[in-house]
Structure 1
């Protein structure tokens, strides 16, 4: 006799429920970890970073237990920007699949911005991650190290220099220079890719960078990584750069770091360059694009470059086995252009300040004349000449200053649109500078003519053409503007 359809369904549901209860669940780990179909165990963790800030991350490890002993561990320290852990998922999974327990965490957003940055605080975050891994079961506390990308190439060595808990350091795209010099080189490459040439590039990598360095508006802009590298006497180091790195000068950085560690007596420094790799070690054709890989916020991250992960994981296992590879340096690829020193000078900030004050003195003196009720000038066209000279000088100096400096905060996109190899704003600054020079010549002739007339006819109308002090100030300022504009670049091709 056939059972009713509802009774059959009820019996089937009871059977499935019993099986689910009796069989072990793949997610039923006492510590809350959950395995995935890719063979990795992932655990969401929270820990206290620098200043007591709570950071959130993921610990990844293989599902297959270690055959003998405990696994090495590695903490991933991201590059500049907000740095969510998703950006480094490919690296984290590759390390874990190679048998290295990996912590990847979201970068702090508190006390981290363009105008508020502290590498020491970021190093404390990284060390907190190291302590977390060292305290986990199945992780060898003697072999937990740091991986630092880009900005992390400043942070990871600093953390290692502060604590003997860091067993090794890996960097990818690690800078050998200060953030300001490195960013200047990066911006120059990006501006050239946009078709910008000539005096604007000169202004960005020369006078503008020197002005920023002398006024120090950006935190950590002058950070020098060299003393930190020299403190890593015994810590094994693997330093990698993509052969198409356009954000950090790879050849120069490699030489600086190699020399610093050699001076420190470190005999376990391996320096390598990755083929077909961009700044982040991912595949590229020119250093600017990314080939393959997942999408992140609408942008392609790029697939891992050939040999990138194998180089790192085999090196970590060699270190963990007690046999860190001896120092060696691979031949470096050609670097497109050398970086430019960005040391600030006193005249880099004093000259524009004097120019702005000098040109502003004329409208200020005019306002004071009206307030005090002094007589009106008798030659209106002459007054208009000096007024135009002061006004154009003030605008020309301001535009010339802002146009190259803004790219340091807003990026190379702020230099668009581009006309004749120059940003439109820079062309405006150049036209204004030429106008200032022309008006300076006219004003000089007018001033000499007025002085002669007044000397030859002392009994003429005693009403002033305009304040002698104001005219003299504007004239001197306009004359000084010429060498400054030549140095800054607005009077250069």
Structure 2
């Protein structure tokens, strides 16, 4: 339940400000120049300051302008800035660098004549919920921290939980869910597509001495909110933890966590304004919201999971299964034809499904029957056919040994553990 915030209302003169000012600023970190805007109430003095740190992905300052203006109308000088693009991508990112970006922005606010330098803090959404505490842990210049949809678990663990939520919403279950939320994710991490995957936020949270306002939507489907509230409560020394029952990851209104209704959860913007203007002295926390299931740690890739191997195996399988129809010399066998056909279709089909899951989070796979999208069911049937054809090809090869049957047979032998690994031979 959300704590009433009327007792912590900001000063009337600040709360009643009808307009805001916008001052363009630039600041640097590591040779990169960042551009931002300070949104503040006109004519203010000794104002608290707030730097807003982005969620994951590409973001400009305007993504947070609505909230910044709401905070400014409550008497807070709020700095929003364009997120760096240099050194930040799907293959490269550093929470340490992003934290230093935030600290450079804090320095800008602390130097303003209308801001009290002892009352400047950092607000962080989602990925910013890892970055903002990290920045605060490095500098006494940060007076407080506000997090929105923050995680207490590793990014890989959070991502696996979120992927499973998306697929289960579509009615999926079983091996395709395990493949996407575990096997595929480990391969992406091993291939360098998910930097900072194993960042552990707990040591940083334990080190914080500043007051922390943590806010979550109870219907968050990207961050496991129940676990996050519990971890923040156990690790952050001075905390105010609030849960909004009908809010999603970004504290927008929602019915189920997946849709995003107009406006923010009632009371969210006022809570931040009131708390920043007057942080409470004692720690308080709402009860952690219920989760359908706990998140699960994603193990690093094992010795048999190097990226190069899992790129090489499909290439070998395609060559091996295409060998039989392309090479005319040697004995023919019906099992060889079946192995060639089922094996090629299973491998090519899996590669297409894998890409579709990554691009559409399962939405491009069509109807779901008995927990499986129809393309996945077809791939599993093809895989069973390939296993049967491998046995038949082995019998034919034993009678008529030669490369024409031997190469696809080798492909069939490799196909079985590969298909088990990717869930094509799972339930």
Would you say same fold, with TM above 0.5? Answer: yes
Match of 1:309 among 251, 269, 286: 269
Deviation (angstroms), 1:332: 1.3
Structure 1 residues 353 and 77 mapped into 2: Cα distance closer, same or farther (>3 Å)?
closer
Structure 1 residues 486 and 89 mapped into 2: Cα distance closer, same or farther (>3 Å)?
same
Structure 1 residues 172 and 482 mapped into 2: Cα distance closer, same or farther (>3 Å)?
same
> Are the equivalent residues in 2 in contact too, given 1:45–1:58 (CA < 8 A)?
yes
> Are the equivalent residues in 2 in contact too, given 1:124–1:159 (CA < 8 A)?
yes
Structure showing greater radius of gyration is 1
* Corresponding residue for residue 213 of structure 1: 189
Give TM-score, length-normalised by structure 1: 0.74
RMSD: 3.0
Structure 1 residues 106 and 353 mapped into 2: Cα distance closer, same or farther (>3 Å)?
closer
Match of 2:127 among 138, 146, 151: 151
Matched, 1:467 2:398: no
Deviation (angstroms), 1:252: 1.5
Deviation (angstroms), 1:334: 0.8
CA offsets 1:74-114 (integer angstroms, 9 cap, x no match): 01112122222222223212211111111112222333222
Match of 1:170 among 139, 146, 159: 146
Match of 2:252 among 282, 292, 307: 282
Matched, 1:389 2:334: no
Question: Using CA pairs below 8 Å that are at least 6 residues apart, which structure has the higher relative contact order?
Answer: 2
Structure 1 residues 156 and 316 mapped into 2: Cα distance closer, same or farther (>3 Å)?
same
- Determine the C-alpha separation between the residues in 2 that align with 1:277 and 1:412: 22
Deviation (angstroms), 1:274: 1.2
CA offsets 1:262-316 (integer angstroms, 9 cap, x no match): xxxx2x1222211211111121111111222xxxxxxxxxx12122123222222
Matched, 1:341 2:267: no
Matched, 1:247 2:222: yes
- Structure 2: which 5+ runs fail to align? 1-15
Per the alignment, in what secondary structure is the counterpart of residue 207 of structure 2? coil
Per the alignment, in what secondary structure is the counterpart of residue 227 of structure 2? helix
- Determine the C-alpha separation between the residues in 2 that align with 1:167 and 1:399: 54
> Are the equivalent residues in 2 in contact too, given 1:352–1:397 (CA < 8 A)?
no
> Are the equivalent residues in 2 in contact too, given 1:430–1:490 (CA < 8 A)?
yes
- Structure 1: which 5+ runs fail to align? 1-36, 293-302, 371-375, 451-464
- Determine the C-alpha separation between the residues in 1 that align with 2:375 and 2:97: 38
Which of structure 1's runs of 4+ aligned residues deviate more than 6 A? 363-367
Match of 2:419 among 481, 485, 491: 485
Structure 1 residues 281 and 109 mapped into 2: Cα distance closer, same or farther (>3 Å)?
same
* Corresponding residue for residue 393 of structure 2: 443
Match of 1:193 among 136, 149, 169: 169
- Where does 1:221-260 land on structure 2 (aligned, <5 Å)? 221-232=197-208, 234-260=209-235
> Are the equivalent residues in 2 in contact too, given 1:229–1:260 (CA < 8 A)?
yes
* Corresponding residue for residue 329 of structure 2: 377
Structure 1 residues 484 and 364 mapped into 2: Cα distance closer, same or farther (>3 Å)?
closer
Deviation (angstroms), 1:357: 6.0
Deviation (angstroms), 1:353: 5.5
> Are the equivalent residues in 2 in contact too, given 1:42–1:58 (CA < 8 A)?
no
- Determine the C-alpha separation between the residues in 2 that align with 1:173 and 1:377: 63
